[in-house]
Structure 1
Amino acid sequence: MFGFGALGVVLAIVGAFAASRRLARPIIALEAAARKVSAGEHAQVEVETRDEIGRLARSFNRMVNAVEERERQIAHMAFHDSLTGLANRTLLREQIALALHRHGGADFALFCLDLDNFKSVNDTLGHPTGDALLCEVATRLAETCPQGFVARLGGDEFAVIVQDGSGAADQTGRAIVQALTRPFTVNGHRIVTGGSVGIALAPQDGQDATSLLKNADLALYRAKHDGKGSHRFFENAMDAEAQARRAMEVDLHDALRNGELELHFQPLFGLSQNRVTAFEALMRWNHPVRGLVSPIDFIPLAEETGLIIPIGEWALHEACRIATSWGDDIRVAVNVSPVQFRSSTLNSIVLQALARSGLEPQRLELEITESLFIDNVEATLASLHSLKVLGVRVALDDFGTGYSSLSYLRSFPFDKLKIDRSFIVDLLANKGATAIIRAITTLADALGIETTAEGVESSEQLDILRSEGCNQIQGYLFSRPIPASEVPALLVKLSGSRMAA
């Protein structure tokens, strides 16, 4: 009895130990696998049974696979563009850093590019078509640079890395521009766009990703500034120009607040009235350090940065305020920038300027350029008609330098055409210029539109313009632009002098 009892106890202990080992082994395996997963390693548990522990092991394996798949998706989203599937800016920077350290910094070229007039595609065809166009551009770039690393930086901006690019960068840049020039067919639309390309060469143009991207972007800015549809290499002078432009932008932000901007006025002399009939308001910037800054330098910068909106608003208010001190028969002309014209607030600003100053609407003349008609003729004409409803006059500046002048003369009743100074300069040297002046004045007279000749500097030019039926004259022959304080004296001077009939 005692022997059988002892044997039973031993067998029970052995059975319990074996059972505990069988139960503990998968749990220990699960624990070890969990540690690996928490450390970022791949781990799977071998399933040996069909009991509860086996089901737990299978659930654990499915969970690990699901987590790893989500991590792969998250990693892909973190380093790739969701629209085109290309690498994004973060992955591009890593690739640039890798290329710089590979083989001691082997030569490669970084191309930064964007589409020309992409905004008009979104505005006219809608964002879905714009997105589809970006996908087509991504495909075409990959085909054009099969050995390159293509990335989308955002919006319509892309970048390409090409190894050993210093020797073939020019050829590659031309190929990219040509590829983007070919028409795209997207959602049933035939889209003709183009692209500008900026090129930075490594390692001479930058020792890190930040410098290379900045310099390639500066080269891209130069390519767009030079007329788009081209490629430009980075030059050290571009960096200096960018720094100067940035410093001027900062100063321009403060110029309006500090009262550094002022308006000068140039008279427009009516030939039939034999007197000054209007003044054109022209912007001047008296910088405390730089001195008098030319509008040629700061107006384009103001348009690029959007500062032209508040500056233009100030100019309208100031011009109307000053014009109220003149005679009721003298108008004031104010140039409206294309950026300002496209602003939805232009009408309200004009109304406020007239209301606050008390100036009669017909004494305010807004001058626009033909470039407004290039992007969207219908929208431009609608805006012009809304301005005419306010009672102000509208003049077409630099007439004759555009491509479709006659078509929109029929579509909108302009009050005045300002003949570009390039035709006036040629009057004495080129008989063809006289014929052009005659054609413009005859056309304008038939349509009931006034004409003003800009840039008149000699009495000989005046005589020709008078004989060809021009209504008004503007130029240094009468006066340079002057401060508002000098306008009364000029009016007295010009009223005392008679122009030969």
Structure 2
Amino acid sequence: MSIDKNLLLLAIINKKIKPYLQPIINDNFKIKGFEVLARWERFDNVIIFPSDFLDILRDDEILLEKFTISLIEQLIDFFVFKKTDDIELHINIYSVSLSPHVIERLLVLNKLAKVIIEILEDDVIIYECFIYKMLELRLNGIQFAIDDFGCGFNNTERLDKYKFDILKIDKKFISAIDNNISKYNLVKNIVSLSDANNFKLIAEGVEKKEEFEILRRLGVKYFQGFLFYKAMPLNKIDEIIFQIKDL
């Protein structure tokens, strides 16, 4: 399928690109939050992933802002009657799209769930523009996570510069950690770094029981991946939220 700006804009306006939620669990298998992942539901039941249209969004700030607002507003509509203000909601947002309108919508959503903004590894952050927006959002209770730590721009320099609250270990360091001593030692060092700086640490892309057991022994307490749950559309989340509220 060939995707251009006009087709993408129509999908955004008509809310065909929807927020899916992938649960984040603790080491006792209890769901503590969700990561928001965009999925384009095409008319022929084909699901299009962000990797197929992200380059178009990155090259057009106006389109990127519309996309971001659409996802946030769909989340607001979903959570407004859920009474889930104790559930973390991780949203991938490019720093350039943190416009006044996006920030206003995020603050509304943050009253319904604990919003955590995840900064992506390919985000080219302009310090002067971002730091004040970060401060405003933090003053209103929103936290920040560094996504895919160890990839792209998301390194120790960026971690220190912006004082993130949460660190997410990229899947490529998790995959086959049970058979790779270099990955084991790297994750061990990341756990030590996290403990020393009081970061909350989340392991992404956990797909095997062996990976989970090693990560738990190393001291990781939060996990995300196909071993536990895949990303699900909002209409599949109601029952999960009901279970969380009953814990």
CA displacement at 1:475 relative to structure 2: 0.3
Whether contact under 8 Å (2:98, 2:133) holds in the other structure is no
**Structure 1: runs of 5 or more not aligned:** 1-240, 497-501
Shift of residue 305 of structure 1? 3.3
C-alpha deviation, 1:436, in angstroms: 1.0
Q: Distance in 2 between matches of 1:396 and 1:319?
A: 22
1:305-356 CA distance string (max 9 Å, x none): 331210111112222443442633211111102xxx22461x442323433x
Residues of 2 paired with 1:487 and 1:290: CA distance? 20
Counterpart of 1:489, as a letter, is E
Q: Does 1:432 align with 2:188?
A: no
Aligned match for 1:342, one of 96, 103, 116: 96
1:150-169 matched pairs, under 5 angstroms: none
Q: CA RMSD in A?
A: 2.8
Q: What amino acid is aligned across from residue 432 of structure 1 in structure 2?
A: S
Deviation at 1:302, TM superposition (A): 2.2
- 1:414 is aligned to 164
> Equivalent of 1:366, from 99, 103, 117?
117
Is 1:396 the equivalent of 2:149? no
Correspondence for 1:481 = 231
Change (3 A) 1:312 1:432: same
Deviation at residue 278 of structure 1 after TM alignment: 0.5
Separation in 1 of the partners of 2:143 and 2:237? Answer: 22
The answer to whether the 8 A contact 1:335-1:366 is kept is yes
**1:298 match:** 53
The answer to which structure, 1 or 2, has the higher relative contact order (CA under 8 A, 6+ apart) is 2
Aligned: 1:253 with 2:9 = yes
Matched residues in 1 for 2:175 and 2:207: separation? 9
SS of equivalent residue, structure 2 residue 20: strand
- Verify: 1:279 aligned to 2:34, yes or no: yes
Residue 490 of structure 1 and its aligned partner are, at CA, apart by 3.6
Residue 262 of structure 1 corresponds to: 18
Contact 1:362 1:391 in 2 (8 A): no
Q: CA deviation at 1:406?
A: 1.9
Amino acid at match of 1:422: K
Q: What SS does the corresponding residue of 2:237 show, helix, strand or coil?
A: helix
Opposite residue 349 of structure 1, the aligned amino acid is: V
C-alpha displacement of 1:492: 6.3
Structure 1 residues 309 and 328: alpha-carbon distance in aligned structure 2, compared to 1, 3 A threshold: closer
Question: 1:190-232 CA deviation, whole Å, 9 max, x = no partner?
Answer: xxxxxxxxxxxxxxxxxxxxxxxxxxxxxxxxxxxxxxxxxxx
Q: Deviations over 1:15-48 (max 9, x none)?
A: xxxxxxxxxxxxxxxxxxxxxxxxxxxxxxxxxx
Offset at residue 392 of structure 1 (A): 0.4
TM-score, normalization by structure 2: 0.86
Structure 1 residues 437 and 456: alpha-carbon distance in aligned structure 2, compared to 1, 3 A threshold: same
**CA distance in 2: counterparts of 1:343 and 1:477, whole angstroms:** 32
1:282 and 1:321 map into 2 onto residues whose CA distance is: 16
Match of 1:311 in 2: 67
**Alpha-carbon separation, structure 1, partners of 2:34 and 2:154:** 28
- Name the larger-Rg structure: 1
SS at match of 1:342: helix
Residue pair 2:202, 2:222 contacting (<8 A) in 1 also: yes
- With over 3 angstroms needed to count, the CA separation of the structure-2 counterparts of 1:492 and 1:436, relative to structure 1, is farther
CA contact (8 A) 1:361 1:391 kept: no
In the TM superposition, residue 265 of structure 1 has moved relative to its aligned partner by 0.6
Query: Residue 463 of structure 1 aligns with which residue?
Result: 213
Cα distance in 2 for partners of 1:353, 1:344 equals 9
The C-alpha deviation readout for 1:155-190, integer Å capped at 9, x for no partner, is: xxxxxxxxxxxxxxxxxxxxxxxxxxxxxxxxxxxx
Q: Which amino acid aligns with 1:342?
A: V
Structure 1 344/399 Cα, relative in aligned 2: closer, same or farther at 3 Å? closer
Partners of 2:233 and 2:168 in 1: how far apart? Answer: 23
- List alignment gaps of at least 5 residues for structure 2: none
How big is the shift at 1:288? 2.3
User: Kindly tell me: are residues 491 and 445 of structure 1, through their superposed partners in 2, closer, same or farther at Cα, counting changes over 3 Å?
Assistant: same
- Asked whether the 8 Å contact 1:316–1:350 carries over to 2, the reply is no
% identical equivalent positions: 25
